[in-house]
Every structure is written in structure tokens, then in C-alpha cells.
Amino acid sequence: MAETTLRWSVDGESFQKTMGAGAWEIPKPELRNGNNTVSVTGEGNVTFIYREGQL
């Protein structure tokens, strides 16, 4: 089964969530002013959508 991993970092603290195939809605990651990063990795097609002002 293919998996996709969502990783994000806030002020040097890292988080990750691994999900199987399908459509997923992740509650808003809490990002703050400063250095924030978000990455999505996996096999196949991955669509990452976010609401402006919500991420």
C-alpha cells in the first residue's frame, strides 16, 4: 500500500503524519511567525491544497 508523509516544522520543532492512499483532510497545522517548512512526499500523485491565511 502506498503511503504519503506530510512533514512540517515550526521554530525548529518537527512534526510528521504518514497516511495511506485516499483523500485526507488534516486539521490546520499550527504555524507561527518565523521559519516554517512544509513538505509532502510519497509515490504516485499527491495534491496538497491549503486555504490562504489558514496555514
- Whether pLDDT at 55 is above 60: no
Question: Is residue 15 situated within a structural domain?
Answer: yes
Question: Is residue 49 situated within a structural domain?
Answer: no
Q: How confident is the model at residue 1 (pLDDT cuts 50, 70, 90)?
A: low
Question: Is residue 50 situated within a structural domain?
Answer: no
Which residues form the domain of 17? 3-42
pLDDT digits (tens, 9 = 90+) for 2-44: 788 888 887 778 888 888 888 887 776 667 777 778 888 888 7
Query: What is the number of domains present in the chain?
Result: 1
Question: Is residue 48 situated within a structural domain?
Answer: no
C-alpha cell at 12: 525548529
The C-alpha atoms of residue 18 and residue 38 are separated, in whole angstroms, by 14
C-alpha cell at 23: 483523500
Question: Is residue 47 situated within a structural domain?
Answer: no
With a threshold of 0.75, does the pTM exceed it? no
Assess contact for 15 and 8: CB atoms under 8 A.
yes
Q: How confident is the model at residue 53 (pLDDT cuts 50, 70, 90)?
A: low
